[in-house]
Amino acid sequence: MFRQTLSSTRVLARSFRPQLIQRTAFLSLRGYATRKYTPEHEWVSVDANGVGTVGITEYAAKALGDVVFVEIPEVGTPVLQKEQLSAVESVKAASDVYAPLSGEVIEVNQELESEPSLINSSPFEKGWIAKIKLTKKEELDGLLDEAAYAEHIKE
């Protein structure tokens, strides 16, 4: 269903807007609908089954520079909110990634092992790090929405 909403937005946008603007509008629309953020630049997008997909934001990826290594968590690992989930390294900078929500890691993005640069090229899509089966959905309310995060990185 999610996919359908996406593509219909895209089709709509394509018919009305020039190429460049269309893409930006499409991305932010979807962001408003699903994505939440931490002040430490992680994002999480939660589906109807209570599974949160986690990654780091475009802002963080840009600040880090070319990612050369991603420490991928292990499936089955229980994580608590604000506990370390993963770590990335970019041009001599090691940066810890924290779990935005508590739960259990049920899937990881193995692609990052051979292609860590996906974090830079596609931070919100192909550069996702892990999927967490949430155990405390109420924690989601404490995260930033798109507008609040945008405000946060402007500071």
Binding site for another protein (CB under 8 A): 39-40, 63-64, 68-69, 71, 87, 89-96, 98, 113-114, 155
Specify burial of residue 143 (Cβ count, 10 A radius: 0-12, 13-18, 19+): buried
Query: In Å, how far are 33, 42, 139 from 6, measured between CA atoms?
Result: 11, 22, 26
**Measured from the CB atom, is 25 or 87 closer to another protein?**
87
Closest contact distance (angstroms) between CB of 72 and another protein is 9
30/60 with CB nearer another protein: 60
Backbone angles phi, psi at 4, to 5 degrees: -65, -45
Q: What minimum distance in Å lies between the beta carbon of 17 and another protein?
A: 34
Nearer to another protein, 46 or 67 (CB): 67
- Closer to another protein by Cβ: residue 13 or 87: 87
Concatenated DSSP letters of 95-111? EEEE-SS-EEEEEE-TH
Plot region of 141 (φ>0 → left; ψ -120 to 50 → alpha; else → beta): alpha
Min dist CB 149 to another protein, Å, is: 14
* Alpha-carbon span 60 to 57, nearest angstrom: 5
What is the closest distance, in whole angstroms, from the C-beta atom of residue 91 to another protein in the complex?
A: 8
Minimum CB distance to another protein, residue 5 (Å): 34
Select 14 or 62, whichever has its Cβ closest to another protein.
62
